[in-house]
Amino acid sequence: MAKKEKVLEITPRSEDFAQWYTDVILKNELVDYSPVKGFMTIRPYGYGIWENIQAAYDKRFKETGHKNMYFPLLIPESLLQKEAEHVEGFAPEVAWVTHGGNEELAERLAIRPTSETIICSMYSKWLKSWRELPYLYNQWCSVVRWEKSTRPFLRTAEFLWQEGHTLHETYDEAQEETLKMLGIYQEVAEEYLAIPMVVGKKSEKEKFAGAFSTYTMEALMHDGKALQSGTSHNLGQHFTKAFDITFTGREGDIEYPYHTSWGISTRLIGGLIMVHSDDNGLVLPPKIAPIQVVIIPVAQHKEGVLDKAYEIKAELEKEYRVEIDDSEGYSPGWKFNQWEMKGVPIRLEIGPRDIANNQVVIARRDGEEKTTLPMENLEENIKKLLDDIQQSLFDKALKAREEKTFIAKDMEEFSNTINATPGFIKAMWCGERECEDKIKEDTGATLRCIPFEQEDIGSTKCVCCSKEAKDMAYFARAY
């Protein structure tokens, strides 16, 4: 029964990245498929990660004055059609409700693919005066987009997200909000998820349907593909005019407010996995790990071992998320593998010899060597370790991204690089849609963003057409 068996059965990452990803999420019970094609079930361990991500963002939203609210799941077709670009962008992927109870509806209702339209229809009713501005509201919910090809967390027909929807008196204030929320997205992604982000502006082609301008944070996955991880849109007055949202301004005149929206989703969990995890399974940053420390009693049948293990648990769980694995019928070695696969940042082993030496054995999931810690000041030392692991994961991810970030000055260099060593390509761009399209056609790479931090890459000519370039942009193949 207590045989040492291999728990993992995870396809090596280098062998088949897509299969490795699927193995990691399914075998760790983060997620499962469901009876409805394209819809995923988020299992408790996966949902625990989401709750921690959600809590971190929600706290920052509230600290910056935003309040949550909830709008209807269903949107009348006529409402969805009010903003032209928007309906064009979303209509092909909408799920339609046509019957309620036993009756056919007079008008089809869309399950929200995003809520700009229904929220604007209510804002139009509510807003009266400049004194009420800004409107700083957010909604946590699920949305549905009828995708043909899906992958859990990365692209599914339904996903969980938040969508902020704000109104402002002036364009400048809306622009400030758009960038502030992008900043919060980046801050939490880097501090909690330990994922370094490139932030910048989307091209006209890649921007949100109905936006004035879209900003994004982009992460680089271990396989060299980019993941759009959060977007923040300055919607200008497109929607406020289409939905006739007006207010009485400071001078008594009727004005249209400026509008933003911004969202992050369960997609971040996919990014988390593809940045940090390895051939042994999940690697979770301490700040969002559902379990931060797992205690494994060694020779647990010996007197005093379980008592000591539970004593340590009681002490540590005042501050941390701790579990103890005292299941019977499994060897410590088997448990080590199991919890390594689950990505728990710290494994704490305690056996008779450790008790005699007044110490515990510590194994870090980020690959550092096993060490021992004295029983004294354990809580404090665990804190240091968790902080250290959090930082080391970020540092490692940043290093990996830098090693996979390249410069290309012409299309030959671009193609060769992205084929030989997939990653971010920094290249100059003239700003024309034609070049953007051609780059995609020739290389499969899309323009991820025009970063705020422009660099001198030793060229001022468009990588594609060689005309004078406007900006340096990041390109990559993307999820």
Q: Which residues bind its own copies (CB under 8 A)?
A: 32, 34-36, 39-44, 46-48, 50-51, 67-76, 79, 92-102, 108-109, 111, 118, 121-122, 125-126, 131, 137, 141-142, 144, 146, 157-158, 160, 327
CA distance 382 to 417: 43
Nearer to its own copies, 327 or 460 (CB): 327
Q: What is the DSSP letter of 299?
A: S
The distance of closest approach from Cβ of residue 147 to its own copies in the complex, given in angstroms and rounded to an integer, is: 9
Nearest-CA neighbor of 385 among 396, 398, 397, 370? 370
CB of 264 closer than 8 Å to CB of 57: yes
Q: Measured between alpha carbons, how far is 449 from 472 in angstroms, rounded to an integer?
A: 9
Least Å from the CB of residue 87 to its own copies: 13
User: How near is the Cβ of 292 to its own copies at its closest, in Å?
Assistant: 16
Please, what is the minimum distance in Å from the beta carbon of residue 465 to its own copies? Answer: 35
Confirm if 201 and 214 have CB atoms less than 8 A apart.
yes
List the Cα angle 189/192/193 in 5-degree steps: 60
Least CB distance from residue 27 to its own copies, whole Å? 13
Nearer Cβ to its own copies, position 156 or 216? Answer: 156
CA Rg value for the chain: 25
Closest by CA to 405, choosing from 427, 383, 389, is: 427
CA 141/CA 156 separation, integer angstroms: 15
Shortest distance, position 96 Cβ to its own copies, whole Å: 4
Give the pair of three-digit tokens for residue 166. 């704000």
Tell me whether residue 53 or residue 111 sits nearer to its own copies (CB atom): 111
Q: Please, is 129 exposed, middle or buried when counting C-beta atoms within 10 Å of its C-beta (0-12, 13-18, 19+)?
A: exposed
Alpha-carbon 177 to chain mean position = 20
Give me 67's structure tokens.
């309040």
Angle between helices 44-63 and 267-276 (to 10 degrees): 110
Contact 372, 334 (CB under 8 A): no
In whole angstroms, the minimum distance from the beta carbon of 329 to its own copies comes to 9
Measured between alpha carbons, how far apart are the two ends of the chain, in Å?
43
CB of 20 to its own copies, least distance (A): 22
